[in-house]
Structure 1
Amino acid sequence: MVLNTTTTVPNSTKTSIEDDDLPNPFGDLGLDLTDSELRETAYEILIGACRSSVAGKPLTYISNSEKSLDRSASMASSSGPSLQRSLTSTAASKVKKALGLKSKKKDLESVNQNAVSSVGKAKRAVTIGELIRIQMRVSEQTDSRVRRALLRVAAGQLGRRMESMVLPLELLQQFKSSDFSSQQEFEAWQKRNLKILEAGLLLHPHLPLDKAGTASQQLRQIIDLASDRPMESGKHSESMQALRSVVMSLACRSFDGSVSQTCHWADGIPLNLRLYQVLLEACFDINEETSVIEEVDEVLELMKKTWVILGINQMLHNLCFSWVLFHRYVATGQIETDLLFAADNLLMDVQKDAKATKDPAYSKILSSTLSSILGWAERGLLAYHGSFYRGNIDIMQNVLSLGVSAAKILVEEISSEYRRKRNEVDVACDRVDTYIRSSVRNAYAQASFHIFT
């Protein structure tokens, strides 16, 4: 992937992935948080989690195109050891291979053509943080502000890990309006962080709220007052001290009533899944939105560092990533069938996960996600005579496979949920038979209508 490292972040001119008619299966947040606000919050969590996990050391990453340049330079200088290291570093993405996604070679080839002439020129290493920043449409100014705040937090709380903090609270204490280009920008930033606290601690808490407790009522009052007039900034201000008291009281609750060492403010469903979805969407090339970036392996490894904060595990990752791949296919005009194929491949892991767990929260999200996928597939398959034609008949197999995969998992999940012994039914044959009968009836009805009218 070729990165544009200027301060201007490109905006896609195509339809936003939120502009389609597929409802989000993870659930409604219940308050007005825009895609941009979710992206900025997810980015802050990612940067914070990475700093916490590596004790402040910078994460340096050389993109595949840069690696290819190194390889060609090594070839030109006939350096054996360097050639060996470069060949190893340019191995194809394991994630893309596992999902059945094609690797883009055009960027590597274009770099190779100019590699010899570039030998000896200084190359600037691209950090993985910069790659993520560009992919998530975060400006350099915002990135600099977040990192500056995290340095201040780290300096004041040495030894504490990010999961033992409430990140929006820490950020709110670090900045004043003078740190922003305008008062309006500062107020929007403050409101966004307060909305995240509202979503994570009041609307979708990790643990149910204690109806007899006063902390939730106090937080609600603080948020309501701040919606009319900005909170007084500064770590030691009276309003900020009051906010810290109620936020930490709500975030540090545990099932047994003791004070938890881990703060729970972003791991309640659906807030955690929506934030993680935003992170996963950064795996798509910002300049070619139907293409998964070559650096997806490294990016996903980095995103795993957020799991402890967001309450994500491998099962939720598989389910969320399968939805993101499918959703991107539908939202971008249904032109890149590789995405549909990849989502179907990932559903094989989802099927194994579903058999291995009885977690009711996971089962609810699983059912909602697969029902949405199956519903979309069946809108075409139940009347496939009208949905598929010579120009798009090739994708029918992919749609059918995805729909059958979703149906199989749902049948197994329902049988397990109600503890019923499932009859040995071939789900694939049953669904295909249903689609054929339904489509023939629809085709016959349409033909009859045209004949008799």
Structure 2
Amino acid sequence: MEEENGVELLQRYRRDRRVLLNFLLSGSLIKKVVMPPGAVSLDDVDLDQVSIDHVLSCAKKGGMLELSEAIRDYHDSAAFPATNNTGSTDEFFLVTDPDFSGSPPRRAPPSLPVYTPSPIMSSLSKSQSLHSTQNQELSVDDIDDFEDDDDNEEVDSIRVSRRLTNEANDLALSLPSFATGITDDDLRETAYEILLASAGAAGGLVVPQKEKKKDKKSRLMKKLARSKSDHVVSQSQRAPGLSGLLETMRVQLEISEAMDMRSRQGLLNALVGKVGKRMDTLLVPLELLSCISRTEFSDKKAYLRWQKRQLNMLEEGLINHPAVGFGESGRKANEFRILLLKIEESESLPSSSGELQRTECLRSLREIAVPLAERPVRGDLTGEVCHWADGYHLNVKLYEKLLFSVFDILDEGKLTEEVEEIHELLTSTWKILGISETMHYTCYAWVLFRQFVITGERGLLHHAIEQLKKIPLKEQRGQQERLQLKNLSSKVAVEEGFEDFTFLQSFLIPIQRWAAKRLGDYHLHFAEGSATMKEIVTVAMVTRRLLLEEPQFATQLAIVTDEDQIESYISSSIKNAFAGIAQDVDATADSTHEHPLASLAEETKKLLKKDSTLFLPILSQWDPRATAISASLIHKLYGNKLKPFLDGVEHLTEDAVSVFPAADSLEQYVMALITSTCEEEIVDEYWGWDPISPQQRHGSSIVEVYRIVEETVDQFFALKVPMRPGELNSLFRGIDNAFQVYTNHITDKLGKYSLSLTIKMPFYCNFF
């Protein structure tokens, strides 16, 4: 769950880091920039692997910057644990997981190297804003003079972002983790390679020509001058057709141009000599390993990480979570893992022997991997579809990364302009990833809902509800899709051990639980208003309807109706809100001159008014009894507080007497709410009474009135206080008024039908 929470912060950090590096390298702060071997321009350099400290140091010195040195410094520093530069020796970070590191070493630790922190450029001159349209020169001395008047607004936005990110803590897919340690970046880059292979199957994959830029300022820096309301690539600026859309996807997925060109060329080379072979039937990671060499990378460590990613994808897709068991070919799984290790080991051997071992291992790996990938899984014929990622959770994680490209990279709460075209393009990946219509709607609803939780944009919530409603029920799905979804299950580690989840459960249970948690305390989570509460209730009930069709979970939900579910939300939230009010009243009891029970009655009445005004109209759409349930529960909770006081009072002091008017005011308001929702029911009961029936001589409503009066009289005389004539007269007047109100209410509701209820004496009766 913590890994899921760090994704958004990591993406924001990487974008800010690239912006800073682009600004430094494209401006006049550095006299000369020397490209690494194999790179022609900055577009060929992976800026994620450039040390910012090294670049800033060169900027301070005013000397020449060699990017190969900056890349080397980045990788050297990555080998050490992270520090916070606070000077404290009580805090440290571990590179490895201590649970898997074994016992600590017995030898003495090595001496610490002398470390001189690199100068950090803390600010820029205000006149040299990134949005400035004037070509002004910046000196290194101007770096320390920058002040930003919008610091407070930026801090506030960061606080809101952190709060919304914390809201996503409870929202994580119920899918197994990857044993190979595949990261979010690995999934994103592999997803783009899958997209290229799908586009290549349609004949739309070409390798763009490199054009050396005359202007040092990159296109990314030019985009920074636009406002958030603008789109990443406008329709007029984007190249037409599939090539332009792929370029948009490259930008959305944050893929460098160098990686894009390598992947395109590798996939095209993989088809050479394979007549009649479609690109979407290729074993993509294996083909890229075979067609992309070390010389195409400017840095060896970057190549090793790229190779490790491809090997991990093969292992996760074909070995760790296969959709079809290996059976007699289980021995090949062990051989497969051995070959993967040998490919990694070949990089540590001399160049000649290492290349020979790598080539032989790739040939052997192909002999094992291709038959595994072409096993029939989804009812198709062998060879028509390449199942290089049988484990469906890897497929849906890759598809999830593709779906995240629908958001504007500069305004994550908005959909990009090309969202419809992106959807159409993503359908081409369904064949490779085994995505069906139901899976698409489910994944897309999850992506939209999660983005809503992070950004708080209600528009995304509306889109998520639309996708949830598009998910077909079981009887609406085709036979092949029902069979496919039935076979999609995963075993996830939980606190009690392991639990099996179907595909829909993996995606919908987190959404349903997130919504239920907020609705279970809606007075807290929707305290500022009910703007989004209606949509959240819809999300909870729609996901509940879909989960009712799933095994195991259905047995838990079937015994609870929609009305019962709404009642549980009301009960939980009312109890939490009342407990908070009671605690606040107790905390301020010493500073006020009012009796705590009187104050509690007033605050409880305010709670009920807010509940009936803001929340109950929404909940009543799903359960007409919502108002009566809320009012009766509040009446009971306050009664539990009031009863010990009534049992213990011995004299009607001024302090004790002050409780009764407040309690009576609360009770009158409670009864008014209940009466307003139940008045039609009372009339229906009257009409259902047969006045000449010997078994039912009285209407049930009048029986209830007599019961209430009887209980009131018993409770009155049970008070252990002296009774005066004034209190007795008040009791009698109250009873008389109750009967009058009931009688008037019944006769008013009868209206023109009152005459027809007059019992006429039969004509043959003899009164003498």
The two structures have a TM-score, normalised by structure 1, of: 0.76
2:424 is aligned to: 301
Deviation (angstroms), 1:426: 5.3
1:46 is aligned to: 195
Residues in 1 aligned to 2:298 and 2:475: alpha-carbon distance in whole angstroms:
49
1:192 is aligned to: 309
Work out whether 1:155 is the aligned partner of 2:259: no
Deviation (angstroms), 1:438: 1.1
Residues in 2 aligned to 1:129 and 1:212: alpha-carbon distance in whole angstroms:
39
Change in 2 beyond 3 A, CA 1:421/1:131:
closer
**Secondary structure of 2:414 counterpart:** strand
1:23 is aligned to: 172
Deviations 1:347-366 (A, max 9, x none): 11114357533632458111
Matched ranges for 1:371-410 at <5 A: 371-390=509-528, 392-410=529-547
Is contact 1:164-1:263 (8 Å) kept?
yes
Work out whether 1:413 is the aligned partner of 2:550: yes
**Secondary structure of 1:405 counterpart:** helix
Change in 2 beyond 3 A, CA 1:421/1:442:
closer
Residues in 2 aligned to 1:17 and 1:228: alpha-carbon distance in whole angstroms:
40
Residues in 1 aligned to 2:256 and 2:356: alpha-carbon distance in whole angstroms:
24
Deviations 1:350-402 (A, max 9, x none): 14357533632458111222211111111111111122122x53111121111
Deviation (angstroms), 1:407: 1.6
Is contact 1:174-1:235 (8 Å) kept?
no
Is contact 2:346-2:357 (8 Å) kept?
no
Residues in 2 aligned to 1:338 and 1:258: alpha-carbon distance in whole angstroms:
43
Matched ranges for 1:11-410 at <5 A: 20-54=169-203, 56=205, 107=230, 125=239, 127-210=244-327, 212-230=329-347, 232=354, 237-254=359-376, 260-332=383-455, 335-352=456-473, 356=477, 357=482, 359-361=485-487, 364-390=502-528, 392-410=529-547
Residues in 2 aligned to 1:157 and 1:150: alpha-carbon distance in whole angstroms:
12
Is contact 1:135-1:282 (8 Å) kept?
yes
Matched AA of 1:194: L
Residues in 2 aligned to 1:349 and 1:161: alpha-carbon distance in whole angstroms:
32
Residues in 1 aligned to 2:454 and 2:517: alpha-carbon distance in whole angstroms:
16
Deviation (angstroms), 1:268: 2.4
Deviation (angstroms), 1:156: 2.9
**Secondary structure of 1:155 counterpart:** coil
| Greater mean deviation of Cα atoms: 240-249 or 141-150 | 240-249
Matched AA of 1:430: D
Q: Highest CA radius of gyration, 1 or 2?
A: 2
Change in 2 beyond 3 A, CA 1:195/1:131:
same
The two structures have a TM-score, normalised by structure 2, of: 0.46
Deviations 1:229-254 (A, max 9, x none): 43955899212211111211321223
Work out whether 1:433 is the aligned partner of 2:555: no
Deviations 1:84-141 (A, max 9, x none): xxxxxxxxxxxxxxxxxxxx99549xx99xx9xxxxxxx6625111100000000001
Unaligned 5+ runs, structure 2:
1-18, 20-41, 49-157, 209-226, 349-353, 490-501, 588-768
Deviations 1:250-272 (A, max 9, x none): 21223699954432112421000
Work out whether 1:446 is the aligned partner of 2:584: no
Change in 2 beyond 3 A, CA 1:393/1:9:
farther
Is contact 1:385-1:439 (8 Å) kept?
yes
**Secondary structure of 1:290 counterpart:** strand
CA RMSD of aligned residues (A): 3.7
Is contact 2:339-2:365 (8 Å) kept?
yes
Q: Which has the higher contact order (CA 8 A, sep 6+)?
A: 1
Deviations 1:268-303 (A, max 9, x none): 210000000000001111111111112111111111
Residues in 2 aligned to 1:155 and 1:260: alpha-carbon distance in whole angstroms:
18
Residues in 2 aligned to 1:340 and 1:329: alpha-carbon distance in whole angstroms:
6
Is contact 1:173-1:234 (8 Å) kept?
no
Deviation (angstroms), 1:210: 2.3
Change in 2 beyond 3 A, CA 1:452/1:227:
farther
Residues in 1 aligned to 2:402 and 2:179: alpha-carbon distance in whole angstroms:
20
1:88 is aligned to: none
**Secondary structure of 2:548 counterpart:** helix
Deviation (angstroms), 1:435: 0.9
Unaligned 5+ runs, structure 1:
60-103, 116-122
Is contact 2:207-2:261 (8 Å) kept?
no
Is contact 1:200-1:271 (8 Å) kept?
yes
**Secondary structure of 2:531 counterpart:** helix
Residues in 1 aligned to 2:255 and 2:303: alpha-carbon distance in whole angstroms:
16
Residues in 2 aligned to 1:309 and 1:28: alpha-carbon distance in whole angstroms:
22
**Secondary structure of 1:326 counterpart:** helix
Is contact 2:197-2:280 (8 Å) kept?
no
